[in-house]
Every structure is written in structure tokens, then in C-alpha cells.
């Protein structure tokens, strides 16, 4: 009797698990292309038409196009950056070849404030998936186990001392400090932004208080220390 019960409940659990698993894998693999257009909401259509070509169908980013991950990023941060591009606080420096791509797009969005709110809320709602290890991560990825541990330990120490207070202990971001999530982001992109802040390509206008603040922070780290910090961030998702 008892054994039968155990067997039956085992089968039930198995069914439940396979159900959950198929549901989960559908969510991970489903992309816009598989969903007939009539089932997409207006905001999904807008994302697909205006953003997906560079940032990916699920806002997972595209390393070869230098387009960062947007999925799961806070809407308030996305809104601020889109506004910065639109009012030319970001993306207009002569050396900002990647930022340029966003200026025209952001200007057009600024004239549709309602759509912009919905679009950023939609992007935040997409579950963020860690982007595949980028070339920057690979170039400073240690080859043996002991070195990985040491690098992670150093990175964690530097990160907690210099970045964690604003960006959160596991790089999850912090609304009170208006600091975005960094975990899960393409390492090449993060490195480029740090470099942009240091060189005054981003965060150099008087009107861009938060960018200027971050530029000051970026100037406190470089070289191997920065690589260790970025390695620590890359391991948080
Ligand atoms: C032509 C390609 C392209 C298209 C289309 C595009 N983007 Fe971008 N976007 C980029 C690139 C490249 C960057 C990185 C700029 C940099 O390195 O500073 C970027 C950066 C961003 C950022 C800044 C992210 C951050 O972490 O600071 C936001 C927000 C953004 N895009 C939103 C959008 C939205 C929303 C759309 C659609 C309305 C869109 N983008 C369409 C290429 C594109
Ligand atoms: C005083 C708070 C503070 C500290 C400390 C800080 N940041 Fe930031 N960081 C911010 C804010 C705020 C922003 C958003 C700036 C903006 O809106 O342009 C930001 C933006 C960034 C960005 C751009 C992200 C993107 O998606 O484009 C990177 C990369 C970054 N920080 C890395 C770091 C690292 C690495 C450290 C430690 C060395 C650090 N930050 C320390 C507040 C901070």
C-alpha cells in the first residue's frame, strides 16, 4: 500500500516536473519569429520593428553589432539613457561611433512619451539572460582553476570597495543611487563604457550629473584591477 502510494506520487511529481520543464524551455527559446503577429501586443510590435534588429528579439543584446543587453534592465535607467541620447548628452562625441547609432532612434522616441514608457516597461519585464562570454571576458579569462579563484577574489574585493555601494553587492543595480544593473551585461560593452567615461566620451557635460559622477568613479580604476572587477561582474549571472 505504502509502496503504491510512493510510486503514484513519484509519477505525479514526474508529470509536474516535465510540465514545468516544457513551460520553462518554451519561455527560454520562444522568439518573436515563432509567434504569429496577431498575438503580439502593440509594444511588442514596436520593439520588434525598432529595436530587435540590433538588440535581439528578446533584448538579449548582440555582441557582433556592439548592442548591449537591455532585457531586465530597470525602466528608469533605460528612460534616462534614451533621454540622454535624445538631448545629445550621450552619443554625439566624435569618438563615440557606437553611441551614434542610438541618437536618431532616441530622438524619434522622445516625441512619443507614452510609447517610450510602455516600451521601457516591456524591456524591463523581459527576463535577462546572461550574454555568452564576450571576447573581452575571454581575453582575460584565467586558464587554470587556482587563477580563476584568485581573480574572482581580487575582483570581488575591488568591486565591493569601489562599485558595490552604488551598483549593489552582486551588481544588480540600485534605484536609490540611480545605478543600473551590470550583471549579465556583455563585458566588452562594460569595458567600452568605462573607457568612454574616462576619456570624456560619456559623462562630460555639466547637465549630465550622474554621468559625471560615474566618470569620476571610472577614473579610480584601470588595467588589471579593472579587468578583475569586470571578471567578477561577469560571474554574477
Ligand atoms: C542600429 C542598431 C540599434 C538599434 C536599431 C537600436 N539600438 Fe539601442 N544601442 C545600439 C548600440 C550599438 C548601443 C551601444 C552604444 C554605446 O556603446 O554607447 C545601444 C545602446 C542602447 C541603450 C543604452 C544601454 C545602456 O546600458 O546604457 C539603450 C537604453 C538602448 N540602446 C535602447 C534601444 C531601444 C529602446 C531601441 C528601439 C527603440 C534601440 N535601442 C534600437 C544599437 C541600436
Ligand atoms: C556613486 C555611485 C557609483 C559608484 C561608486 C559606481 N557607479 Fe557606475 N554608475 C553609477 C550611475 C548613477 C550610473 C548611471 C550613469 C548614467 O545615467 O549615465 C552608472 C553607470 C555605470 C556604467 C554604465 C552602464 C551601462 O549600462 O551603460 C558602468 C559600466 C558602471 N557604472 C560601472 C561601474 C564600476 C565598474 C564601478 C566601480 C569601479 C562603478 N560603476 C562605481 C553610479 C556609480
Digit-coded pLDDT (tens) for 210-222: 999 999 999 999 9
Q: What percent of the chain has pLDDT over 70?
A: 78
| β partners of residue 179 | 174
Domain annotation covers residue 27: no
- The greatest distance separating any two alpha carbons of the chain, rounded to the nearest whole angstrom, comes to 78
**Cβ(59)–Cβ(123) below 8 Å:** yes
Digit-coded pLDDT (tens) for 42-93: 999 999 999 999 999 999 999 999 999 999 999 999 999 999 999 999 999 9
- Asked if residue 221 and residue 139 are part of one domain, the reply reads yes
| β partners of residue 62 | 67
Indicate whether residue 66 lines ligand 1 (CB < 6 A): yes
- Asked if residue 149 and residue 85 are part of one domain, the reply reads no
What does the chain come to in residues?
A: 237
Ligand 2 atom 41: the closest Cα is on which residue? Answer: 163
Q: How far is the CA of 215 from the centre of ligand 2 (A)?
A: 8
Domain boundary among 125, 159, 190: 125
Domain boundary among 125, 146, 174: 125
C-alpha distance from residue 75 to each of 28, 47, 178, 199, 217 (Å)? 21, 14, 11, 27, 23
Return the DSSP state at 186: -
CATH number of the domain at 87, please. 1.10.760.10
Domain annotation covers residue 191: yes
Grid cell in block for residue 137: 571576458
- The number of domains in the chain is 2
Task: Give the domain extent around 153.
Answer: 135-234
> Is the model's pLDDT at 26 over the cut of 60?
no
Indicate whether residue 177 lines ligand 2 (CB < 6 A): yes
- What is the pTM for the complete model shown? 0.87
Indicate whether residue 152 lines ligand 2 (CB < 6 A): no
pLDDT of amino acid 153: 96
Domain boundary among 69, 92, 125: 125
pLDDT of amino acid 84: 98
Q: How far is the CA of 48 from the centre of ligand 2 (A)?
A: 28
- How far is Cα 58 from Cα 110, in angstroms, rounded to an integer? 22
- Asked if residue 167 and residue 97 are part of one domain, the reply reads no
Amino acid at each position: 500500500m505504502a509502496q503504491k502510494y510512493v510510486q503514484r506520487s513519484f509519477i505525479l511529481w514526474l508529470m509536474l516536473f516535465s510540465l514545468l520543464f516544457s513551460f520553462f524551455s518554451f519561455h527560454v527559446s520562444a522568439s518573436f519569429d515563432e509567434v504569429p503577429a496577431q498575438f503580439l501586443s502593440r509594444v511588442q510590435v514596436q520593439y520588434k520593428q525598432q529595436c530587435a534588429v540590433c538588440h535581439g528579439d528578446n533584448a538579449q543584446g548582440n555582441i557582433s553589432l556592439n548592442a548591449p543587453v537591455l532585457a531586465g534592465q530597470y525602466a528608469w535607467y533605460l528612460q534616462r539613457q534614451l533621454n540622454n541620447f535624445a538631448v545629445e548628452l550621450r552619443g554625439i562625441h566624435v569618438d563615440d561611433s557606437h553611441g551614434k547609432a542610438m541618437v536618431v532612434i532616441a530622438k524619434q522616441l522622445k516625441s512619443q512619451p507614452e510609447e517610450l514608457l510602455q516600451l521601457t516597461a516591456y524591456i524591463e519585464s523581459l527576463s535577462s539572460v546572461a550574454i555568452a562570454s564576450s571576447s573581452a571576458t575571454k581575453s582575460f579569462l584565467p586558464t587554470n582553476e587556482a587563477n580563476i579563484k584568485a581573480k574572482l577574489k581580487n575582483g570581488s574585493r575591488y568591486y565591493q570597495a569601489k562599485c558595490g555601494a552604488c551598483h549593489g553587492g552582486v551588481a544588480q543595480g540600485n534605484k536609490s543611487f540611480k545605478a543600473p544593473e551590470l550583471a549579465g551585461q556583455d563585458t566588452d560593452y562594460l569595458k567600452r563604457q568605462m573607457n568612454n567615461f574616462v576619456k570624456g566620451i560619456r559623462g562630460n557635460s555639466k547637465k549630465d550629473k550622474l554621468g559625471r559622477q560615474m566618470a569620476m568613479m571610472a577614473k579610480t580604476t584601470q588595467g588589471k584591477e579593472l579587468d578583475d572587477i569586470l571578471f567578477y561582474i561577469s560571474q554574477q549571472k
